[in-house]
């Protein structure tokens, strides 16, 4: 018997801004309900994953909604239940609750995390990427200009300072791009859009190379792992430019 599609969901309030809760969503394959799930999209508004091993025809989605008290995390599952809608209800609901609890715990930890700002500098429908020269495990990989937000600085102050130090240019800082992304050692990566003031040319002060990449070229360089999560948002940014 094929059974009907069943949708179950739970909502949990997390007292943390949505941009930070989005960094708490799993981005690698993870186990749930006796199987493994693969993340297929991550955005500030939420996330979706499909079963790749175990419970086939199973989709999970997390929707993040800003509320006056923080962020509502709604976890939902869509699946085929051969025994009818009630057959797996309590097991699925408890898995959704544990998914939400994991997100909540990580989001609360990330709320106090040091922020690393990255800068999406765009010019003529191209994005400026830079190649790291150190440490050994990151040398040769690509990232966006930026660095740690120092005590007392705003994100925008840190973007301006880092772009001056790393590239020798003055930038005008715009809105955040894509979701925040959790980094190793409990840090948080947040990308801001920016444009170079005037027609100054950036020079790599402590990086191996710089490149201006079109949306179609973004996948042609090896990025740091966290930046790979951001490629869809960066592509969308470039494709949406006038």
Ligand X SMILES: Nc1nc2c([nH]c(=O)n2[C@H]2C[C@H](O)[C@@H](COP(=O)(O)OP(=O)(O)OP(=O)(O)O)O2)c(=O)[nH]1
Q: Which residues bind to ligand X, rule: CB under 6 A?
A: 116, 118, 143-144, 146-148, 183, 189, 224, 226-227
CA-based torsion, 27, 29, 31, 32: positive or negative: positive
Q: In this structure, are residues 211 and 129 in contact, taking their beta carbons and an 8 Å threshold?
A: yes
- Give the SS3 label for residue 101: helix
Structure token digits, residue 111 = 């709320």
The residue with its CB nearest to ligand X is: 147
Output 147 or 176, the one with its CB closest to ligand X: 147
CA–CA gap between residue 216 and residue 204 (Å, rounded): 23
Minimum CB separation of residue 135 from ligand X in Å reads 7
Q: Which is nearer to ligand X, 26 or 118 (CB)?
A: 118
Q: Are β-strands 126-131 and 59-67 bridged in parallel, bridged antiparallel, or unpaired?
A: unpaired
Q: CB nearer to ligand X: give 14 or 188.
A: 188
CB 108 within 8 A of CB 16: yes
- Give kind and range of the element (H or E) at residue 25: none
Whether the CB-CB separation of 233 and 177 falls below 8 Å is answered with yes
Query: Measured from the CB of residue 63, what is the shortest distance to ligand X in angstroms?
Result: 26
CA–CA separation, 143 vs 223, rounded Å? Answer: 6
Toward ligand X, which CB reaches closer, 80 or 205? Answer: 205
Q: Is the Cβ of residue 100 or residue 183 nearer to ligand X in the bound state? A: 183
- Enter the tokens of residue 60: 């999970």
User: Considering the complex, what minimum distance in angstroms separates the CB of residue 44 from ligand X?
Assistant: 17
Give min distance, CB of 235 to ligand X, in A. 15
CB of 233 to ligand X, least distance (A): 12
């Amino acid at each position: 018997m094929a059974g009907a599609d069943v949708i179950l969901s739970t909502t949990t309030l997390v007292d943390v801004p949505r941009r930070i809760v989005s960094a708490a969503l799993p981005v690698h394959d993870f186990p749930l309900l006796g199987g493994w799930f693969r993340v297929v999209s991550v955005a500030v508004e939420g996330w979706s994953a499909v079963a790749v091993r175990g419970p086939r025809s199973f989709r999970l989605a997390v929707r993040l909604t800003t509320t006056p008290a923080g962020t509502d995390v709604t976890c939902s599952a869509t699946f085929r239940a051969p025994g009818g809608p009630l057959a797996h209800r309590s097991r699925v609901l408890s898995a959704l609750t544990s998914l939400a609890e994991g997100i909540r715990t990580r989001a609360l930890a990330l709320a106090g995390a040091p922020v690393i700002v990255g800068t999406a500098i765009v010019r003529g429908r191209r994005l400026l990427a830079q190649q790291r020269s150190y440490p050994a495990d990151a040398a040769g990989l690509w990232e966006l200009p930026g660095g740690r937000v120092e005590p007392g600085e705003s994100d925008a102050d840190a973007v301006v300072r880092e772009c001056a130090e790393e590239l020798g240019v003055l930038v005008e800082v715009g809105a955040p791009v894509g979701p925040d992304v959790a980094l190793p050692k409990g840090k948080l990566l947040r990308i801001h859009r920016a444009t170079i003031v005037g027609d100054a040319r950036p020079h790599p002060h402590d990086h191996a190379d710089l490149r201006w990449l079109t949306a179609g070229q973004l996948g042609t360089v090896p990025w740091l792992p966290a930046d790979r999560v951001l490629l869809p948002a960066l592509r969308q940014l470039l494709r949406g430019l006038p």
